[in-house]
Amino acid sequence: MEPLGDFIAACLKHAPGQKEQARTVYQAFLSWCLANNERPWKKLHSAAPFRSRG
């Protein structure tokens, strides 16, 4: 499976006009990875995939 896609499907909702700080989303992603036995991505390399998915 693809961890980022799974995290987005499980934890994020698209809300037009709403934004969340990258740090908050990344911390949630780290927690999700640990809870789901996934290897988290390094912080510096994680922003682009989140941006490309909206």
Higher pLDDT, 1 or 20: 20
Sketch the domain layout of the chain as residue ranges. 3-12+21-52
Tell me the per-residue pLDDT of 12-44, one tens digit each, with 9 for 90 and over. 998 999 988 888 988 999 999 999 999 887 764
Q: What are the tokens at 25?
A: 């989303």
> What local confidence, expressed as pLDDT, does residue 50 receive?
66
> What local confidence, expressed as pLDDT, does residue 52 receive?
65
